[in-house]
Every structure is written in structure tokens, then in C-alpha cells.
Amino acid sequence: MLALNICKINMASVMVVVLAVVCPFIPAVRPSEELWKLECQPTVGIVGQTTVIRCHIKYSGDIEVVGVALTKVKQDKPVFQHIIKETPSGDPRFRLVNQGKDLSLQLSDTMFSDEGEYEYYVATNIGEKTAKLSISVTAKYKDPITSSWPESITDGGPVDLYCNATDGYPAGTINWFDQSRKNWTINSILTKAIKDTNGSKFVALSSKLTFKSIDSSLAPFRCVVLNSKFVQEGERTFQIMLKQESEKVPLGSKTTNIVAGMMVIGSLIAGLLLALLICRRRGHQLGYHSGHTAETDKEHGTVWNQS
């Protein structure tokens, strides 16, 4: 009767069905046996992954668990309940990891809707306890993507370096480091775009690091993505791409090209002049021979009849 009275006084309305089954198996509680505790840790889960809700009984003696139930605050029906040696009921994503003093729960395929405050009820052979716990849900950022503008950079010229990371939650941050591990984040600008669609929450991070005059010896740069707890989730090494030497024409090469061009033009002019000189010489020779023949004929009295 004492055990039954304890059940009626302490049990929450949502556990009426559970306790109706387990209370007859709870013996009278002695004061020394009230020293056991039920402790649960705050839980952080990752979307799409398995989350472990860690709870355990703190007690030096032997104890036998009769049943457990997990209820979300402000909800009447437990999301999960399991009377030992019977089939669990509620959300099938939950399951009791162990039986004994370790009463941790496992939640598969974690969703954002699982966030919130909960009450974890445990009934044992020496009494029952309720512990409060919280579940927060995060999403891991995808590997960052880096780029620059302009793509081909002149050493000593201006450039913007970009680093983007998406699909994470809650909002994190992006840090920049050069090859000597110097932190350049203070020189960057971070933007955060929050997306909430059908209960799925994601944040897109975009960081821009601007140099008015880039020093190529600082490369490569590292873009590091940190989550809301400042724990690193992603990293990308970014080697700036300098303009190719072939795109830069040395002054000596320009001079050589100019001289070569002038030599070609000079050769053409010389050839034309030579051709003109030959033509003129041939013309003079033809004129000379014609005049000499006429004079010779006149001297010898040669008469040419014209018809």
C-alpha cells in the first residue's frame, strides 16, 4: 500500500498507464533507499545522425529498472516509453541503449523538431525518479569553397578572397590564416544568410578578405569554418594564382621585336630601290643603243626607205 500511495502522489498524469503496470512490482521504499539519483546530461545532436541522450542512475547498491518514459515538455503523450521485457512504444527512432544503471537513450535520424526540453521518468524496484534534460540540434557545414577576384592576380595588386560554407546550423564563423598562421580574420567581412523551410534551418556563411596590395609570399591562405561552439568543421587551403609569365612581355623582348620589324621593312625598301635602279639602268642602256645605231647609219650613208 505504501508503494501504491507513493505512485499516486508522485506520478505525472502522462504516466498513469505506465505506472499502473509497474507500480505493483515496486516494493515498499525504505528511507535509506531514497538516496539514489537519476542524472541526465544536456544533449547536442546533429541533423541526420544518431544522437545519444546520456542518463544514468547514481546509486551504490543494486537496483532494477522496471520501465522508462520520455516526455517532451508541454506535451501530454510520451514520445517514447519502454516497460522492461515488453515492446517499446512511441517514436521508433528512440531506443533504450542499456538496462541497469546506464539508462541512456539513442535517437536515430535526428531532426530539428527534436529540439526542446524533456522529462525522463524512470521506475525501479526501489522507487521512481524524474530528471529534466534538453536536446539541441545542429547541422554540420559542408566543406568550404574558395575563389578570388580577379582570378589571375598581379603580385602587389588588389584582390578579394572569398570563402563560402553552407547547410550548417546554428550560425558559425569563418577565419582566415596565411602560410605563417597569422590570423587575417579582422580584415574580412562575414555575412550570414539564414534559411528556414518546413522546420529545416540552415545558415550560409560567406567571408570576403580584401587586399589593396597582395603580397604573394603570404600564400597559401587557409579558410577555416567554425561552428557556433567555435569547433572547426571544415578547412580549405587557397593558393592564389598569379598571372603567368607568358602574359607579361619583357621590355627586351619588345625591343627585339621592334628591331626585327624595322630590319624587315628596311630589307623591303632596299629591295624596291635595287629593283628601281636596275630598271633605270636597263632603260638607259636601251636608249643609248638606239641613239648610237642611228648616228652610225647616218655616217655611213645608209638610207632607210620608209614605206
At 285, is the pLDDT very low, low, confident or very high (cuts 50, 70, 90)? low
What pLDDT is stored for residue 281 in this prediction?
66
At 88, is the pLDDT very low, low, confident or very high (cuts 50, 70, 90)? very high
At 255, is the pLDDT very low, low, confident or very high (cuts 50, 70, 90)? very low
Higher pLDDT, 29 or 224: 224
User: How confident is the model over 29-81, as pLDDT tens digits?
Assistant: 444 456 899 999 999 999 999 999 999 999 988 899 999 999 999 999 999 99
DSSP letter (8 states) at residue 35? G
Report the chain's mean pLDDT, rounded to a whole number: 80
Does position 274 have pLDDT exceeding 80, yes or no? no
Contact 6, 29 (CB under 8 A): yes
Q: Which of 117, 119, 142 is nearest to 48 (CA)?
A: 142
Does position 148 have pLDDT exceeding 90, yes or no? yes
Averaged pLDDT for residues 260-287: 64
Q: Which of 164, 171, 138 is nearest to 49 (CA)?
A: 138
Q: Choose the weakest-confidence range: 6-15, 34-43, 120-129.
A: 6-15
Does position 254 have pLDDT exceeding 50, yes or no? no
Backbone angles phi, psi at 158, to 5 degrees: -75, 150
Q: Which of 82, 99, 98 is nearest to 90 (CA)?
A: 82
SS3 content of the chain, % helix, strand, coil (to 5): 30, 40, 35
What pLDDT is stored for residue 265 in this prediction?
72
Averaged pLDDT for residues 245-264: 49
Does position 117 have pLDDT exceeding 70, yes or no? yes
Q: Which of 53, 27, 71, 146 is nearest to 107 (CA)?
A: 53
What pLDDT is stored for residue 34 in this prediction?
65
Higher pLDDT, 168 or 284: 168
CA distances (Å), 98 to each of 6, 13, 81, 284, in order? 26, 26, 14, 122
Q: Choose the weakest-confidence range: 56-60, 182-186, 272-276.
A: 272-276
CA distance 190 to 207: 4
What pLDDT is stored for residue 284 in this prediction?
57
Averaged pLDDT for residues 259-266: 61
The full set of domains in the chain, from first to last, is 2-30+38-138 (2.60.40.10), 145-243 (2.60.40.10)
- Which three three-digit cell numbers place residue 69? 518514459
CA distance 211 to 224: 18
DSSP letter (8 states) at residue 86? S
What pLDDT is stored for residue 300 in this prediction?
46
CA distance 259 to 102: 89
- Determine the residue type at 154: T
Helices in the chain by DSSP H: which ranges?
Answer: 2-10, 16-22, 251-299
DSSP letter (8 states) at residue 200? E
Cell 574558395 appears where?
146
Cell 545522425 appears where?
49
Q: Specify the DSSP element, H or E, that contains 54.
A: none
CA distance 111 to 198: 12
Please give the share of the chain, as a percent, with pLDDT higher than 90.
58
What pLDDT is stored for residue 200 in this prediction?
87
Q: Specify the DSSP element, H or E, that contains 93.
A: none
